[in-house]
Each structure stands twice: as C-alpha cells, then as structure tokens.
Homo-oligomer: A and B are copies of this chain.
Amino acid sequence: MTDLAGNTSDNRTLRVALLGAGAVGSQVARILIEHADELSDRAGAHLELSGIAVRDVDAKRDVDLPRELFTTDAETLIVGSDIVIELMGGIEPARGNLLTALQSGADVVTANKALLATHGTELFEAADQVGASVYYEAAAAGAIPIIRPLRDSLAGDRVVRLMGIVNGTTNYILDRMDSEGADFSEVLADAQRLGYAEADPTADVEGYDAAQKAAILASLAFHTTVPLEAVHREGITEITPAMIDEARAAGFVIKLLAVCERIDVDGSESISVRVYPALVARTHPLASVHGANNAVFVEAEAAGSLMFYGAGAGGVQTASAVLGDVVSAARRHIAGGVGVGESTRANLPTVPIGHVITRYQITLEVADQAGVLATVAGILSDGGVSVATVVQTSSEDEPTARLIIGTHRAADQALSDTVAALAASDVVDRVVSVLRVEGE
C-alpha cells in the first residue's frame, strides 16, 4: 500500500463505501461525485464512491444520486472497500457494519455520536488490532474542527477545562427565549415547525445528545475513556422566561453547556463531565454564540483560552467534516503504516457531580416578613455555603417575596444539600430555581 518514495500514487484507486443516505449522507455522496477530482488530488489517490447501502433503494432522497450506486447489501459493499463511511445513526446495524469494515482492513469514518459514546472502545480496539483508524470529526460539533485540535494540536498540553455549546437545537431555543422573552414550549413548537427540532425533541432538550458529545470530547481532552454513564445530565425543559430575566439582571445568559473539567479530589486527579443549563457571564465568548451555532471553549495549561466556533449541525456542514475524514483516511492508506489509535492511557476516574466546585444562583419564594432572611442565611451557613450576593424583591400586593441568592464556590453536594434544607424550611414557600454558574 505504501509508495516508498513518499509520492502520491495517482494510479491508485481507493474504494469508498457509504452507509446511509440521509441529510448528511446524501450531501457526502453529492460532494464525493461533484468534486471527485479535487478530493482525489488532495487525497493522493483516486477516490471512488463504490456504493451506498440503504434500507430502501427507492426512498426519496434530498439529492439526486445515480441509482446504480444504491444497494441494500451493506456487507458485500463493505468487504470490498478501503474506506467505509457510516452515516446511518443508531447502534445496530451501524456497530456490526463498522466492526466488519475494520476487520476487513478498511478505515472507517463515522458521525455516530451515540455509537461512539457507548461502543467507542470496542471500535477503537478493533481498529488497533488491524492497524486501521476510526475517524469521527463530525461526531462532536458538526462542522467545527474540534477532534483534531484536541487529539493532535493539544496533545502536548494539558486541558484544564472544556465548555461546549454542542447542541444547536437547545441553543436555538434558549437564544430565542432570551431575545424574545418567549416560553420554552412556544419556542420549541416553532423550532419544530422550522426543522430546528425533531418531532420527538427528547434527545436534544433533555441533554442526551449533548451528553454523548461531552463523553467524546472529554475522552479526547483527558486521554481517558469516559463512559456515557459517567456524564451527569440535566435538560432545559424547566427553564422559564422568569429565570432568563433574572439571569439577565445579574449579567448572565443561560446556556446548555457540556463541561469537561480536570478536578482535584482529595489530592488525586480526576475529571468531571456534566451537561446542564448554566449561567454564563454575558461578557464570556460563549455568551455570544447565537442561534443554532455551536462553540467549544477550551482552557489549557500552556495554550491558555481557545475557542472554536461554527455550525453545529446541518447536512452539508456535517458532510464537510465527514469528507475531511475521508481525505485523511485516504492519505493514511497511501502513506502506509498503521493507524494512530486513541490515547486513553491517562485513565483518570470520573467523579460524581457532588464533587464539582461551582457557584449556585438560588431563587426562593419566601414569606415577606421580618426574620426570614436571617433564617435563610442561617440554613446556608449551617450547610457550609457562603453567600456572595442577595437580592430581595417584594411587591405590596403579595404576601411573598423573592430572594435571589448568589453563593460563593462550594462542592455541589454541599450546595444541593443546602437547597434541600431550604426547601424543607418553614419560611421558604418554594425553591423557584437553582442554576450553576460556569466560565468564571
């Protein structure tokens, strides 16, 4: 396979199989066909789209593609290919197909975050055994190049913290709630009409999609296999216009963040991986990520702060990332040698959310009477939670007041225990909201 002179071997043809022809797959096929010469030039070998495996050859596609490329026989297509692109989504048959591809010596390209977050290790090990590679630039933040920067560019540095807006649907919803003062359900319905959200929005709005991406990003950032179960996850369905208003008044915006952080627990190095709606200062670069865009903010020991910004989803945008991987895979085939496996040997433990150190912003509905603040302050103090700011708002016609308490940094366990104690207290009518502050 190797040209020992190191030259590109123009007479070599690499067979590229595509599994799936949905929004991303059909764009990948189109670009592979339309820009065949240009991509082949860059790859150093002729890239031939050898076939497209689908469930239904006659299904309607976004893009008009040559009918003879389609097949329902994925196995036969895979076994004769040098590079297999998997864009079917879901666990099976994607997992089985990719294992077959790797076992037959093909490099594989996938955008399947669910598969990587649950069966990544199995795929990486299968690749290592035959010296092939798994490429997945499209799996974490759509078209934004983040995998190579983490895997290669920052391989000589130590990532301290990564904060990502990695789900476009929820950023779109929160951004519109912030700019229009609209309700969650109202904006969600609109997002569904416009195609920004799926008919069943659970994966997005409950943070499952972001959690899968967080697991992938944390694995790369910390050279550690992070299982999906280790990711703490909260969604955005409870976010109200009132919470957004209060956040604004305090100089914050609410963003669904994937936070991957190196933390010290009792003197030993650990990591925390979590997804939740958090308060971000309006001056933070992540606060200006609007609409369905994504961004990943990385803090590294030597490099300092870096940000990567772009479209997080979309068929043609994601196709860009997939095709970059195809060219990389082709170059590796031509260059020879074995694929560089994942670097997971730091093997840091993931700690539960209780160990995370953050600030809380707690909004309480309390009886509007003397002594309440003293009682609340006492509960906070008993819980070991130090108060940074308190804003009390009350109106003449209501018997209750609102207390908005900003805490100092403390362990999440202490903070949540203290919120539970507040909720149980006689003077607190209701815990209206609790949000963590990130990016300070």
A contacts, CB < 8 Å to B: 2-8, 27, 31, 35, 38-39, 41-44, 127-131, 137, 143-145, 147-149, 152-158, 223, 285, 288, 300-311, 314, 316-317, 319-328, 331-332, 334-341, 343, 345-346
Contact of A38 among B158, B300, B320 (CB under 8 A): B158
Q: Is A156 in contact with B304, judged by CB distance below 8 angstroms?
A: no
**How many subunits of this chain does the assembly comprise?**
2
Contact of A311 among B31, B38, B304, B336 (CB under 8 A): B304
Q: Is B128 in contact with A7, judged by CB distance below 8 angstroms?
A: yes
Residue of B nearest to A307 (CB): B309
Q: Is B137 in contact with A153, judged by CB distance below 8 angstroms?
A: yes
Q: Is B303 in contact with A321, judged by CB distance below 8 angstroms?
A: yes
Q: Is A145 in contact with B153, judged by CB distance below 8 angstroms?
A: yes
User: Could you jot down 19 A-B contacts, CB within 8 Å?
Assistant: A2-B337, A4-B131, A6-B131, A6-B338, A27-B302, A39-B155, A137-B153, A148-B153, A152-B327, A285-B309, A304-B311, A304-B317, A306-B311, A308-B309, A309-B309, A332-B340, A335-B340, A336-B337, A336-B338
Nearest-neighbour CB distance to chain B for A319, whole angstroms, equals 6
Q: Is A155 in contact with B327, judged by CB distance below 8 angstroms?
A: yes
Residue of B nearest to A309 (CB): B307
Q: Which residues of chain B are near A31, meaning CB under 8 Å?
A: 156, 302
Nearest-neighbour CB distance to chain B for A144, whole angstroms, equals 6
In the complex, A144 Cα to B154 Cα: how many Å?
9
Residue of B nearest to A149 (CB): B145
Nearest-neighbour CB distance to chain B for A46, whole angstroms, equals 13
Q: Is B154 in contact with A320, judged by CB distance below 8 angstroms?
A: yes
Q: Is B302 in contact with A158, judged by CB distance below 8 angstroms?
A: no
Q: Is B335 in contact with A6, judged by CB distance below 8 angstroms?
A: no
In the complex, A309 Cα to B2 Cα: how many Å?
37
Q: Which residues of chain B are near A345, meaning CB under 8 Å?
A: 41-42
In the complex, A145 Cα to B147 Cα: how many Å?
11
Contact of A156 among B152, B326, B337, B343 (CB under 8 A): B326
Q: Which residues of chain B are near A340, meaning CB under 8 Å?
A: 44, 331-332, 334-335
Q: Is B152 in contact with A149, judged by CB distance below 8 angstroms?
A: no
In the complex, A155 Cα to B306 Cα: how many Å?
22
Q: Is B304 in contact with A310, judged by CB distance below 8 angstroms?
A: yes
In the complex, A331 Cα to B338 Cα: how many Å?
10
Q: Which of A144, A304, A325: most chain B CB closer than 10 A? A: A304
Contact of A154 among B129, B324, B337 (CB under 8 A): B324
Known: A148-B148, A156-B31, A157-B320. A338 touches B302 (CB 8 A): no
Q: Which residues of chain B are near A42, meaning CB under 8 Å?
A: 155-156, 223, 343, 345
The 4 A-B residue pairs with the shortest CB-CB distance, nearest first, are: A337-B337, A156-B323, A145-B153, A336-B337
Nearest-neighbour CB distance to chain B for A67, whole angstroms, equals 24
Q: Which residues of chain B are near A328, meaning CB under 8 Å?
A: 152, 155
In the complex, A332 Cα to B308 Cα: how many Å?
26
Known: A336-B338, A337-B336. A303 touches B311 (CB 8 A): yes
